[in-house]
Amino acid sequence: MSGAEDATTRTPPAADAATPRPRWQVILVRPETVTFLFLIVATIGASWLSPFFADVRYILESFTFYFEFAIVALILTMVIISGEIDLSAASMMALSASLFGVAYQAGLGIPGAMAVSLLSGVLMGAFNGFLVINMKLPSIIVTIGTLTLFRGLAQVIAGDKSIGKFPAWFIGIDYRFVFDVPIPVIVFLIVSLILGIFLGTSAIGRQIYQIGTSPIAARHAGIRVNRIKYGLFIAMGLVSSIAGLLAASRLASVRYDLATGGELQMVLIVMLGGTYIFGGRGTILGTFLAAWLLVVIATGMTVANIPINAQLTVLGLLLIVSIIATNAIHVRTQR
């Protein structure tokens, strides 16, 4: 409004010559570095808390419980970098998984039911995109609305019964191994790698950062802001439904309350990974590390039989602290 926010600062020539900070400093204050250090500290802490923790097999196995959230968090990272947010992912998982279950029960067979589920994911993502992009509503409040709506619809179509009896080949993805590593872990590694390369080196990845930094400037630079945002929301829906299917395989059954409260965990992972809540900054690497960090913390406390009460407190605190820390780092490096 007033000139207070006027950013067309005129710098006397002398200020142009400010030397950039040395490379090591740049790397050291990166939020991902902090996440990585946390990861090490948490691993040491967890091993100290319980003698049963330090067991690679167990950690990998525990990862499969958070795998679905972690994989959605990778896409959510990109959504948040683009300056939006999607809190409805856990509900999309539940609704698409419920649809999968209902369709399978209706005799569609696994492939048919999967198609229904994936299609529903795309539609839900597009619906969010429509409300945010075409209707110009803030994504955070839109997705709170659709969070309630999608979960409610899941309850309507699936009731509160558990739908199961899927064929044996479909179930237990978390208990299939390649070289002793559970398939979900491998999938997560590969997807992280692909998305990391995509976001870090592709032209569209670059544009996602630019959109998040300034959507108006992005539009003026000829970047297809709406198209890319639509793409991200749809990807969010699609990946959520994939995550729903993976959960169905892991649990051998689906119910409307699948992944309840998962949105918080997903946001937590992304925030822990150092993605900036206001958009424009963040990396897949950060989210990748943060997913492991969450697994280590949660698993460490669970195997030490620390009551869930303390766990909830720690996670809530962690979310707030990580936002504050990331914010501080980004504001500082802005200069």
Partner 1 sequence: METATTSSAGETVISARGISKQFAGIEVLRDVDLDFRAGEIHALVGENGAGKSTFAKILSGVHRPTRGTLALRGELVEVPNPLTAQRLGITLIHQEPVSFPDLSVAENLVLGRDQGSVLGRVPWAKITRDARESMDQLGINIKVNVPMRGLSIADQQMVEIARALASDSRLIIMDEPTAPLTPIEVETLFKIVRRLRDEGRTIIFISHRLEEVRALCDRITVFRDGNLVHTGDVAAVDDEEIIRLMIGRSLKEYIHKRRTEIGEVALEVKDLCLPGLFSDISFEVRKGEIVGLAGLVGAGRTDVARAIFGITPAHSGTIAVNGKDIGVAEPTEAIALGLAFVPEDRAAAGIFQSLSVEHNITAAVPGRIAPRGFIRHALERALANEAVQKMRIRLASLRQPIGELSGGNQQKSILARWLLTDPSVLIMDEPTRGIDVGVKSEFYDMIGELAESGRAILLISSELPELLALCDRILVMSEGRLTADLSRAEATQENVMREAVPKSGVHSPTVAA
Partner 2 sequence: QESLSIVFVGKNTGNPYFDSLVQGFEDACDVLGCEFEFVAPATAEATSQIPFITAQIQRRVDVIAISPNSPDALNQVLDRARQRGILVLSVNGDITGSEEFRDAAILPTDFEKVGSDQVEMLGSLINYEGEIAILSATTEAPDQNKWIVGMNEALENNPKYAKMTLVATVYGDDQPEKSTTEAEALLSTYPNLRGIISPTTVGIAASAQVVQSANKADQVKVTGLGTPNQMRPFIKDGTVEAFQLWSPYNEGWLASYFAVGLKAGTIVNEVGATFEVPNLGTITINELNSINTQAGLTTFNADNIDDFNF
Partner 3 sequence: MNRITGVIGALLRRRAAGIAVMLLIFSLVVGLIQPRFLTPDTLRIVMLAIPLIMVAAMGQMMVLVSRHVDLSMGSMLGFTAIVAGMVFRDFPDVPWWVGFIVAISTGAVLGLFNGLVVTIFKLPSIIVTLGTLSLFRGVLFLISDARQVDPQFIPSALIQMSQTSPVFGIPGIVLIAFGVAFLTYLFLDHTRLGRQIYAIGSNPAAAPLRGIRVVPVTLLVFTLSGALSGLAGIMYASRFGYVNPSITGVGFEFTVIAAVVIGGASINGGVGTVLGTVLGVILLGTVSVALPILAVSAFWQDAIFGAVIVIALLIDRSVRERGARSVVAGHRP
Q: Which residues bind partner 3 (CB under 8 A)?
A: 1-2, 4-5, 87, 131, 135-138, 140-142, 144-153, 155-156, 159-160, 264, 267, 271, 277-278, 307-317, 319-320, 323-324, 327-328
- Least Å distance, CB 330 to partner 2, is 32
Amino acid at 304: A
Nearer to partner 2, 29 or 315 (CB): 315
Which of 194, 312, 320, 324 lies at the binding interface for partner 2 (CB under 8 A)? Answer: 312
Residue 302 interacting with partner 2 (CB under 8 A): yes
Q: Would you give the binding string for ligand ATP spanning residues 10-29, x where CB under 6 A is met?
A: x-------------------
DSSP character string of 254-310: E-TTTTTTHHHHHHHHHHHTT--TTSS---HHHHHHHHHHHHHHHHHHHHTT--HHH
Choice between 228 and 301, CB closer to partner 3: 301
Contact 189, 197 (CB under 8 A): no
Greatest distance between any 2 Cα atoms in the chain: 74
The least distance separating ligand ATP from the CB of residue 332, rounded to whole angstroms, comes to 18
Residue 138 CB, nearest approach to partner 3 (Å): 6
Q: Two tokens at 323?
A: 């936002």
The interface region with ligand ATP, picked from 5-13, 71-79, 165-173, 222-230 by CB under 6 A, is: 5-13
Among 188, 168, 178, 175, residue whose Cα is nearest residue 252 = 168
- Give the contact letters, 204-243, x = binds to partner 1 (CB under 8 A), - = no: x-xx-xx--xx-xxxxxxxxx-------------------
Rg, Å, the chain Cα set: 21
Does 4 bind ligand ATP (CB under 6 A)? Our answer is yes
Comparing CB distances to ligand ATP, the nearer of 8 and 19 is 8
Residues 242-281 that bind partner 1 (CB under 8 A): 280-281
Buried b (16+ CB within 10 A) or exposed e, 239-250: bbbbbbbbbbbb
Count of residues making up the chain = 335
Q: Do 226 and 110 contact (CB within 8 A), yes or no?
A: no
Structure tokens at 251: 């649990």
Q: Which of residues 138 and 159 has its CB atom nearest to partner 2 in the complex?
A: 159
Q: 230 in helix, strand or coil?
A: helix
Residues 6+ apart with CB under 8 A from 190: none
CB 101 within 8 Å of CB 248: yes
The site for partner 1, by CB under 8 A, has a size of 42
Judged by beta carbon distances under 5 to 8 A according to partner kind, the member of partner 1, partner 2, partner 3, none in contact with residue 305 is partner 2
Nearest-angstrom CA–CA distance, 210 and 219: 10
Q: Which residues pair with 181 in a beta bridge?
A: 178
Give residue 305's identity as a one-letter amino acid code.
N
Q: How far is the CB of 14 from partner 1 (least distance, A)?
A: 9
Binding of partner 2 by 278 (CB under 8 A) = no
Q: Which is nearer to partner 2, 20 or 261 (CB)?
A: 261
> Could you tell me the two tokens for 257?
């309350």
Which entry of ligand ATP, partner 1, partner 3, none binds 111, CB below 5 to 8 A by partner kind?
none
At a CB cut-off of 8 Å and minimum separation 6, what does 208 contact? Answer: 78, 81, 82, 199, 228, 232
The label of the residue with tokens 């019964």 reads 161
Q: Which is nearer to ligand ATP, 4 or 178 (CB)?
A: 4
**Region from 4-12, 152-160, 182-190, 299-307 binding ligand ATP, contact rule CB under 6 A:** 4-12
Q: Counting Cβ atoms within 10 Å, is residue 62 exposed (0-12), middle (13-18) or buried (19+)?
A: buried
Residues near partner 1, by CB under 8 A: 1-4, 6-13, 15-20, 197, 201-204, 206-207, 209-210, 213-214, 216-224, 280-281, 334-335
